[in-house]
Amino acid sequence: MAQQPHRTDELQQASFLLILAVVSLLMAVIIWPFATALLWAALAAIMFQPLYRWMLRKMRGRRNPAALSSLGVIFFAVLVPAAWLATLVLEEALVLVSALQANPIDLAATFDQVYGMLPEAAQEAVDRSGWADVSTAQTKLQELLAESAGMIASQAVSIGSGALGFILSFGVGLYVMFFLLRDGERIGRTVLRTIPVERSISERLAERFLGIVRATIKGSGVVGLVQGVLAGISFVIVGLESALLFGVLTTIFALVPVIGAGAVYIPVGLWLLVTGAVWQGLFVLVVGVVIISSADNVLRPILVGRDTGIPDWIILVTTLGGISFLGFSGIVLGPLVAGLFLASWSILQEYRDEDARAAEDFDRINVDASGRTPDIVGAD
């Protein structure tokens, strides 16, 4: 009978943990429609925390005006230009696809032109490979253009029909961002205290999480933006139509490691060369190799300051996996998950090493206390 209260306590604790798990799951299900908005609100609050602190100093510690002012700067300096840019890119994409449908690319003529520039040995290799038959590729290209036009139009219609949901998510994101800017540090400390993990481990994870967020957004986002701007300027100089569209595509591809900005400017430069725009094609290729590709090596150490410790192949796999699972948000969320995964395992390894060193020190102290040296013990 003496153990009955103990069993009752265990049952109550297990019941409470079950209730906690169920309530947490229900909470996740309820907020899931706004998960993307909450994710970007949290990331923006982390990145613009220095702006809030600056506003807080200027407003003599008044938190509400400082958070509201910071939110205003973010809205007018970042969100409004981004929305305007997205509208222009969508218009250019529709114009480009419509132009390609009206005047389709003659792959046969282009192939004959490139084929004539090849040496005789290369021409024979092409003939043996069967690549000389471009009729199938021409048909596939026309089908792709038709599908692209339909996809862009359907996306535009879905955005218009879902305008209320978008506005609601956008408003929720701004509202949450206000409180995260104002109370982010306090919320973070509360979460660290409530996590059922040793305090030192949770603090290490939080520190590395913040470092990974800054490295992902500053090191990848800002560098990709700079590369896209440089590419867009080079496209404008050579008179390329839809220069803004290709500049944005350069920014997007620059976020994906291994693939990089070269996935856009190299095909554009080669296409200009093939179509007879020789100096324009050479200009795009030279600017891309010398300036655009070098921007990553120059800016990333300045912006990030230290390596995230995530191998490029892991970033590539998690980025592509995140895109397939979450869409555009996966570009950021994929590397974040990879970083936390590696950080968790590295912290576990560090604790194991610390425990091993502590055990060695304990054994050494016991040996010294017994009056024998480790060498004498080892002699047995």
Predicted confidence (pLDDT) per residue in 188-201, tens digit? 778 777 777 777 77
Share of the chain above pLDDT 70, in %: 74
Looking at residue 379, its pLDDT comes to 45
pLDDT surpassing 70 at residue 87:
yes
The DSSP annotation for 110-173 comes to HHHHHHHHS-HHHHHHHHHHTTT--HHHHHHHHHHHHHHHHHHHHHHHHHHHTHHHHHHHHHHH
Give the least confident one: 85-99, 151-165, 182-196: 151-165
Residue 18 lies in a domain: no
The answer to the question of residue 276 being in a domain is: no
In a domain, 349, yes or no: no
pLDDT (0 to 100) of residue 287? 92
Task: Look at residue 67 in the predicted model and tell me its pLDDT.
Answer: 92
- Evaluate if pTM is beyond 0.85: no
Sorting pLDDT into bands at 50, 70 and 90, what band is 163? low
- Whether residue 213 is contained in a domain is answered as no
Q: What would the pLDDT profile of 5-36 be if each residue is shown by its tens digit?
A: 566 777 778 888 888 889 989 988 998 888 88
CA distances (Å), origin 134, targets 109, 110, 130: 10, 10, 9
Q: What's the Cα-to-Cα distance from 228 to each of 238, 263, 314, 334, 357, rounded to whole Å?
A: 16, 12, 23, 21, 49
Look at residue 116 and tell me if it is in a domain: yes
Mean pLDDT taken over the chain: 77
pLDDT of residue 376: 45
Query: How much is the pLDDT for 378?
Result: 45
Count the neighbouring beta carbons within 10 Å of the beta carbon of residue 134. 17
133 pLDDT exceeds 60? no
| 160 occurs within a structural domain | yes
Length of the chain: 380
Q: Give the mean pLDDT of 311-333.
A: 78
Q: Which helix (H) or strand (E) holds 198?
A: none
* Percentage of the chain exceeding pLDDT 90: 13
Residue 309 DSSP one-character state: -
Give yes or no for a contact between 222 and 302, defined as CB atoms under 8 angstroms apart: no
What is the mean predicted confidence (pLDDT) over 148-171? 61
Quote the number of domains for the chain. Answer: 1
Evaluate whether residue 311 is within a structural domain: no
Q: Residue 121's domain spans which residues?
A: 32-194
**pLDDT band, very low/low/confident/very high, at 234 (cuts 50, 70, 90):** very high
**Is the residue at 330 inside a domain?**
no
